[in-house]
Structure formats: C-alpha cells, structure tokens
Amino acid sequence: MKFFVDTADLAEIRDLAATGLLDGVTTNPSLIAKSGRNMLDVIAEICDVVPGPVSAEVTATDVETMLAEAEVLSSVASNVAIKVPLTPNGLKTCKTLRDRDILVNVTLCFSAAQAVLAAKAGASFISPFVGRLDDIGLRGLDLIEEIVDIYNQYDNFETEVLVASIRGPAHVIDSARVGAHVATVPPNVLRQLYQHPLTEKGLDAFLKDWESTGQSILEQANQRKDAAE
C-alpha cells in the first residue's frame, strides 16, 4: 500500500518525508486555505519535497474553467495530479486531462457506481471517503471493498483506489486488508501507526538494562580506534 499524507503543511510534509514513508501528498482548497498562502507557491514547494503524485484541486465547476485551472496547476511541476470532483463536468475534465497524459485524482466518491464511472473516464486515482460515510451511520469500508472487487474484475481499469477521509489507524489497516492501493492519511494518524505500548515498554527496558552497564557504544568505538592506532 502507498501512503500519501493529507495536508498542505510544509513542516509536516518535510518531517514525514524524511522517514521515507511518503509516496505522495493530497491537498484540497480547505487545506490550502488553512496555510494562508498562495496555492501555486504551496504546491510548488510540496512538489520539491515529495517526488510522488501531489494532488492539487481545481476550484471551478464548469469544464472550460476546470481545464484552464488544471493547465495552470499542472504547469507547476511534473508530479502534480489534478484533483476534480466526481460530477459530470469533473469526469469530462478527467477524460480530457488523461488524453493529455496528466494524472487525475477524482475525489468525493461515495458509491461504487461513481467509482466505475471514474475508471471509465480514465482516472489515475479514485478517492472514496470512508470517514464521511461512517459519520452518517454507514460502513465506509464496505465501499472500499466494493470498488476494489469491481476494479479487480477488469484488466483495462488502471485506476488506483485512494482511500480518503481516514480518521484513524483502523481505517488504514482495514483498507490495506481489502487491497486498496493508496491511503491518504492526516499527519497525526500516520504517526499513530508507529505507536504501540509494548514497543515503548520494550524499548524502555532495553535502555535501562544498557544504562546499568555504564557502557557507551560511541566510547567503546573510540577506545577501539585509539587502540588500533
């Protein structure tokens, strides 16, 4: 499974990218607005940090303007993926952009039927929102299972399932178990994946045992170096 981080915070992206875990980044107008900065500047800086796909979303709703905005956004860097809504105009825009070999992330997917349409339009990624479905009493993972199962039936469907609206580690693990290709994860959730009380307990015990010896690996290395000289 690929990990994308869902943020426009450059400090967070740089910190997480240093782990080698990030395969891409997703942004949206709301996340960019929180930064209080020029969208194009933010996208350019993110693309410099992360070589994988960086989703930048259009803000128009008509095809002509969406294509014009997409042209501007895609000119920022070669790894920009244009994010369009799952609407008739969004799918028309998707088809045109894919004909130009531009990556497209079709977002705000809430049904398997919508996901089939996005794949037919050639979407690079489809973004079903698990958390928002859970919020209204549905089981978001059911949608991920449906989409993955349908896509697996057709060799000509190359669209990757990019699970969005992730609220916790369980969404990530459950999505991985059913075969989703990508999870776009908020920074805090990505960090939660590291955590387990037994890891912390075990590390604490190891460090206490080592401290009790009064030894230092670096000091021992220096002693060996001095002795060799």
CATH of the domain at 127: 3.20.20.70
Residue 122 near residue 98 (C-beta atoms within 8 A): yes
Same domain, 139 and 219: no
For the question of whether the overall pTM of this predicted structure is more than 0.85, the answer is yes
Is 216's pLDDT higher than 90? yes
Same domain? For 10 and 30 the reply is: yes
Q: What is the average pLDDT value for the chain, to the nearest integer?
A: 96
Q: What is the pLDDT of residue 228?
A: 84
Mean pLDDT of 47-73: 97
Same domain, 163 and 220: no
Same domain, 18 and 101: yes
| Contacting residues for 189 by C-beta, under 8 A, at least 6 apart | 166, 167, 168, 169, 171, 172
Q: Are residues 209 and 155 in the same domain?
A: no
Residue 118 to residue 125: CA distance in whole angstroms: 8
Residues 184 and 124 in one domain: yes
State whether 134 and 223 are in the same domain.
Answer: no
Same domain, 210 and 145: no
Domain total for the chain?
2
Whether residues 141 and 208 share a domain: the answer is no
For position 229, what pLDDT does the model report?
77
Residue 179, pLDDT score: 98
120 is an active site residue: no
Do 60 and 163 sit in the same domain of this protein?
Answer: yes
- Rounded CA-CA distance 185/3 in Å is 7
Residue range of the domain that includes 202: 197-228
CA dist., res. 136 & res. 142, Å (int): 14
Q: What share of the chain is helix, strand, coil (3-state, %, to 5)?
A: 55, 15, 30
Mean pLDDT value across residues 142-163: 97
Pair 70, 101 in one domain: yes
Asked which of 86-95, 114-123, 209-218 is least confident by mean pLDDT, the reply is 209-218
User: Does residue 176 sit in the same domain as residue 82?
Assistant: yes
State the catalytic residue, choosing from 2, 34, 83, 95: 83
Q: Quick one: pLDDT at residue 225?
A: 87
Residue 9 pLDDT > 90, yes or no? yes
pLDDT at 143 over 90: yes
Task: Provide the pLDDT for residue 117.
Answer: 98
Contacts with 108 (C-beta within 8 Å, 6 or more apart), sequence order: 85, 86, 127, 129
